[in-house]
Amino acid sequence: MITCSKLMTIDEVMNEVMKDKAFYDASGGGEVLFQAKFAIELAKRLKAKGVHLACETTGYVKSSVFMKFMKYMDFMYYDCKQWDPLLHKQGTGKTNEIILKNLDLALKYQAPENHKQLCIRIPVVPGFNYTDNDAENFGKLFVKMGINHVELLPFHQFGLKKYEELHRDYALKKVAQLTSDDLLNYQKILAKYDVQADINGWD
């Protein structure tokens, strides 16, 4: 079988990508495991075709279901929003026990022979997990779990438009966005626990 490729300049690639800008602007968010049965079947079929699979998840699903899904993923973004179960429940309506349990499973499944990649991310939100105390306790949690590399995501207001389109109240509407510089101290605190924290800023 002969495969062909097309040589393209940076400008040509940019033109192609920007054709779908309206889609990028309107999309985002969502939990892939909210429809776990469908997601697992789709992943299974795609993997059978040799497709490299990546996802973003909070890991809030039964561990047996999580592992069925995980085995098809090559790369996973895993959001860890809170270190404390009660604070997590106050902010999201659910505790974080199952999330941390599945994170531990994902870490163990990341063994070299499985060729899995995992990126743990903390979406840092004022009033929820932005204090020095939060950073300290995340550091302690990560040491306990054997985690030495995470990604920090500064809070932004990109979700405001989506809430408006859905005619829903947005509780964080008046919360100021964070910049990469706002997370430098957070980064330093995690470093005390030998946790490298990369800041993935939108600014």
89 confidence band (pLDDT: 50, 70, 90): very high
Instruction: Give the integer Cα–Cα distance in Å for 138 and 105.
Output: 18
Q: Which two tokens stand for residue 21?
A: 């800008």
At 28-42, the pLDDT tens digits run: 567 899 999 999 999
Beta-carbon neighbour count of residue 66 at 10 Å? 24
Q: Phi/psi zone of residue 146: left (φ > 0), alpha (ψ -120 to 50 degrees), beta?
A: left
Q: Mean per-residue pLDDT for 9-25?
A: 72
pLDDT tens per residue, range 55-68: 999 999 999 999 99
Distance separating alpha carbons of residues 183 and 130, to the nearest angstrom: 9
Tokens at 82, concatenated: 């809170």
In angstroms, the Cα distances linking 121 to 20, 44, 147, 169 are 26, 25, 11, 26
Q: How far is CA 31 from CA 28, 34, 81, in A?
A: 10, 5, 14
pTM to 2 decimals?
0.83
Residue scoring higher pLDDT (91 or 7) = 91
Q: Would you say 119 and 74 are in contact if contact means Cβ atoms under 8 Å apart?
A: no
Q: 3: number of CA atoms within 13 Å, CB side? A: 1
CATH of domain 33-199: 3.20.20.70
Query: Nearest to residue 198, comparing CAs of 89, 77, 94, 18?
Result: 77
Q: How confident is the model at residue 8 (pLDDT cuts 50, 70, 90)?
A: confident
For 107, the token pair is: 């870490």
The span from the CA of 135 to the CA of 64, in Å, is 30
